[in-house]
Amino acid sequence: MSKSPFAVLVGSESLLGREIRDIVATSEPGFELRLIAAHGEEAGRLTRVGDEPVTVGDLDAGNLSGAGVVFLAGSPASSQKALELAEDEGTAIIDLTHASEERPDARLRAPLVEAPEEEFGEDSRIHVIAHPAAMALALLLRRIHANHPLRRAVVQIFAPASEQGKAGVEELQRQTISLLSFKPLPHDVFDTQLSFNMLARYGEAAPVALEDTELRIERHLATLLDLPGEGQGAPLASLRVIQAPVFHGYTFGIWAEFENSPDLEAVEISLAEGNIEVRGGEFEPPTNVGQAGQGGIAVGAIAPDRNHADALWLWMAADNYRLAAESAVAVARQLL
């Protein structure tokens, strides 16, 4: 057994799990990461974390014993089982699946927008990683509000198929192939055609409703906007989530109204620091494809509203899995 604290990853083959493995293997400071199979994954298989060979273990009390933190990145069933197994150990949980967010001992976490001096004591054993769309919006709105007070904002959020995990990505891929081959469409995840289509809601038989994602983003955003620090108190944006026929990465169309008529160049300058990349008018606006594998957020196509002197339009892109995984690893480093 390792003498130093180590982390356990439940759901090592999920899209989130693979992202965490990549970040741990390629960034400093590193820590030992042990892999645990989630429901539907194969235990005992040999894989790698970076260049190091690792065997995927079973989800049992023995494999969680002694861990400094446990990442939950697998199925809802595996998250619930891991929570039960870790209860007696008192192990810190970093939950990327939101299975534990309604528990009284859970704390919503988003290192991108937390004040550096904010502390999370021993009463915060469960750390729920905020939805990446909420983190991206909170980072942007707080940064704007700190320098150019906002009156209100309206946001159209374009969600990728990967919001529904590997099953969502695979269904979009199969639907596209089926359409081009004139075959019936699979619809286990979305219960309707997503390929070459935009959806305001899923079909009635979809296991998860698009409205559930919208409500989670709104809840998390409200909490993050109220955290102490720069830009605290930015107004809660009005949100609408649209399912886009893309595999990966969130994009956002944002209308922001200011207390006073904003200077576009001043807004761009105040945004362009830390984890925000600003694409000025001489550059192409950010895209979900271009942002893949990148941390933070990218903002561009900032333009005045021709019909409202106190408002601007902004376009934003973020890699949903990168944001969530980097946040989870940052929390793990704090705890370890």
CB 73 within 8 A of CB 11: yes
**What is the phi/psi pair of residue 37, to 5°?**
-75, 135
- What pLDDT does 34 receive? 85
- What pLDDT does 280 receive? 85
- What pLDDT does 66 receive? 83
- What pLDDT does 123 receive? 59
Confirm whether pTM is higher than 0.95: no
3-class secondary structure per residue, 181-223: CCCCCCCCCCCCCCCCCCECCCCCCCCCCHHHHHHHHHHHHHH
Look up the CATH number of domain 7-129+324-335. Answer: 3.40.50.720
Mean pLDDT (10-residue bins), the chain, 336 residues: 73 90 84 80 66 74 84 90 80 92 92 78 80 97 95 97 95 96 94 96 95 97 95 95 97 97 92 91 91 94 95 97 95 88
Name the CA radius of gyration of the chain, rounded: 20
Q: What are the residue ranges of helices labelled H in 48-164?
A: 61-64, 76-87, 132-147
d(CA 17, CA 8): 11
Tokens of 156: 């159209």
Pick the CATH number of 134-320 from 3.40.50.720, 3.30.420.40, 3.30.360.10, 3.40.50.10860: 3.30.360.10
- What pLDDT does 117 receive? 63
d(CA 174, CA 188): 11
What residue has token string 């870790």? 86
CB 94 within 8 A of CB 129: yes
CB 245 within 8 A of CB 172: yes
pLDDT in tens, 125-141: 899 999 999 999 999 99
Check if 7-129+324-335 and 134-320 are the same fold. no
- What pLDDT does 36 receive? 85
Which strand (E) or helix (H) includes residue 307?
none
Domain map (residue ranges) of the chain: 7-129+324-335, 134-320
